[in-house]
Structure 1
Amino acid sequence: MKKTRPERRQGAAVVRGDLVPESTHDQRLLDRRGPADWLHMDPWRVLRIQAEFVEGFGQLAELPQAVTVFGSARTPADTPEYEMGVELGRKLAGAGYAVITGGGPGCMEAANRGTAEAGGVSVGLGIELPFEQSMNEYVDLGIEFRYFFVRKTMFVKYSCGFVTLPGGFGTLDELFEALTLVQTGKVTSFPVVLMGTGFWGGLLDWIKTTLVETGKISPRDVDLIHLTDDVDEAVKIIVDADRRHGRQRDEERRATANAVGDAE
């Protein structure tokens, strides 16, 4: 049997065998243990981080309006959750949206697959991990990142909404970061949809009771989250929010133009 060599993606590069390092770029960036040589290395890391931002902005700047879909990499292809992801990707593409995922297997693959099969633009934003996770075959445009925070910026900057399929820690991280950005007004007119009432219902109940009742969030913050099992409803929530945001932009442009005309 042919022995499989270890492999890791590092940004635009792929390394194999003895060239695979023991840690990732994120681990080394965040690790303050050991000698003080990091004092001399971190300024140089800024240039690499800058390069990742430039690459991401350059590749994604001309995307059509897009929706980011999150979900577990561990979802098997023969499950209802996977089928939901395929249908979601297909219908988002039918509504004219590109679909952005983390580019991996499971729910991410499902959304990319539905989008690609419907003729839409299917995007994957991958990340260097200690355990290898390849870019799924349904991605039309794939970008590899070394740093999570750069990748997260791309998810938000180039999307008009998030749809979250069932997932684990990574999905929860992305979900609550999106909710925090909306709650604090860092992004506006940005719907967040949870797909799967059986999976997410307990979490939403805890948010409505424990968080609201102890004053950790306000009751209106719960309205930032939309929970459904219906793919058509999820797409409609995205489309309606996008149209409202478009009307607001048009009104702001007209108001600006009128103000300039009055000044002249």
Structure 2
Amino acid sequence: MAPNITPSPDKRKLRGPMLLRTEGDQESTYDQRLFELGSDHDWLHADPWRILRIQGEFVAGFDALAGLPKAVCVFGSARIKEGEPWYEAGVEVGRKLVAADYAVITGGGPGLMEAPNRGAYEADGLSVGLGIELPHEQGLNDWVDLGLNFRYFFARKTMFLKYSEAFVCLPGGFGTLDELFEMLVMVQTKKVNNFPIVLLGTEFWAGLVDWIRGRLVDDGMISPGDTDLFLLTDSVDEAVEHIVEHHKNLRENLKKGQY
């Protein structure tokens, strides 16, 4: 009889779409190798094959997510631990989005990605995780029903944009800020529909919002109305109600031909 051994989670690693057992962090990622300079790659021959790999990521993403119901994407820090207040708030976000008939999409990792996935899963909703290959972070969390792992950030971002109808930003670091401003730019420039964006946590986001209003607006870098592209709140209920009401108004305007 085989011994009853539980694999160590810290030795499981995603390499693109593959889950492998490894001895530690990898030295580089596909994204890094794509953009690095001064390498010894034979670019004339390597890049055409890389294009096929990139194309494959888009095809796999479109194929897996094509039947996804209406969904809200939730962003947030990977560093928040279970039991911390923001983790519990993330679980509540996932649960209440499911109660409002939305699927929940996250980056699929730990912390404030895991929490909304967990809330959605525990509420019997659809919990989606779109992971990314990183040299130092683990793979998809255990609360994901439908998971994909990407080698390239830009392919993953396309899936967030294409298959989400609203975006909620919990507190986070550079990755969350990158995703927030990506969504703001796409909505501002009308590359996507005017989908609602919510910043959850007034104390956390206040400094950034004050800078946007006091610097970007006052200096004419953005229009005053651009600050209406997002809602700042501490209330999960208000966040979900804002998304629901926004979509209701959008549907009514579409019927009237006013969009």
Distance of aligned partners of 1:88 and 1:17 in 2 relative to their CA distance in 1, 3 Å threshold: closer
> What's the CA shift for 1:232?
0.7
Report SS of the residue matched to 1:67: strand
Report SS of the residue matched to 1:208: helix
C-alpha distance in 1 between matches for 2:159 and 2:23? 32
C-alpha distance in 2 between matches for 1:71 and 1:188? 22
Q: 1:131 aligns with which of 133, 136, 143?
A: 136
C-alpha distance in 1 between matches for 2:129 and 2:99? 19
- In structure 1, the partner of 2:18 is 13
- In structure 1, the partner of 2:190 is 185
For residues 160-183 of structure 1, give each alpha carbon's deviation from its aligned partner in whole angstroms, at most 9, with x where no partner exists.
010000000000000000000011
Code of the aligned partner of 1:160: E
- In structure 1, the partner of 2:252 is 247
C-alpha distance in 1 between matches for 2:212 and 2:14? 37
- 2:91 paired with 1:86: yes
C-alpha distance in 1 between matches for 2:7 and 2:106? 31
C-alpha distance in 2 between matches for 1:45 and 1:6? 27
Distance of aligned partners of 1:199 and 1:13 in 2 relative to their CA distance in 1, 3 Å threshold: same
What pairs up with 1:101-140 in 2 under 5 angstroms? Answer: 101-140=106-145
- In structure 2, the partner of 1:236 is 241
Code of the aligned partner of 1:240: E
Code of the aligned partner of 1:126: G
> What's the CA shift for 1:19?
10
> What's the CA shift for 1:7?
4.5
Percent identical across equivalent pairs? 60
Distance of aligned partners of 1:189 and 1:6 in 2 relative to their CA distance in 1, 3 Å threshold: same
What are the ranges of 5 or more consecutive residues in structure 1 without an aligned counterpart?
Answer: 254-264
Q: TM-score, normalised by structure 1?
A: 0.90
What are the ranges of 5 or more consecutive residues in structure 2 without an aligned counterpart?
Answer: 1-5
> What's the CA shift for 1:37?
1.0
- 2:165 paired with 1:149: no
Report SS of the residue matched to 2:113: helix
Code of the aligned partner of 2:42: D
For residues 162-221 of structure 1, give each alpha carbon's deviation from its aligned partner in whole angstroms, at most 9, with x where no partner exists.
000000000000000000001111112211100000100111001000111111111111
Distance of aligned partners of 1:236 and 1:58 in 2 relative to their CA distance in 1, 3 Å threshold: same
Give the count of matched residue pairs: 252
Distance of aligned partners of 1:249 and 1:89 in 2 relative to their CA distance in 1, 3 Å threshold: same
C-alpha distance in 2 between matches for 1:117 and 1:36? 47
Superposed CA RMSD? 2.0
- 2:88 paired with 1:77: no
C-alpha distance in 2 between matches for 1:132 and 1:71? 15
Q: 1:43 aligns with which of 43, 48, 60?
A: 48
C-alpha distance in 2 between matches for 1:6 and 1:233? 41
Is the helix fraction higher in 1 or 2? 1
C-alpha distance in 1 between matches for 2:43 and 2:76? 35
Report SS of the residue matched to 2:211: helix
- In structure 1, the partner of 2:3 is none
Q: Indicate if the aligned counterparts of 1:127 and 1:145 stay in contact, CA closer than 8 A.
A: yes
Q: Indicate if the aligned counterparts of 2:13 and 2:139 stay in contact, CA closer than 8 A.
A: no
- Runs of 4+ in structure 1 over 6 Å off: 2-5
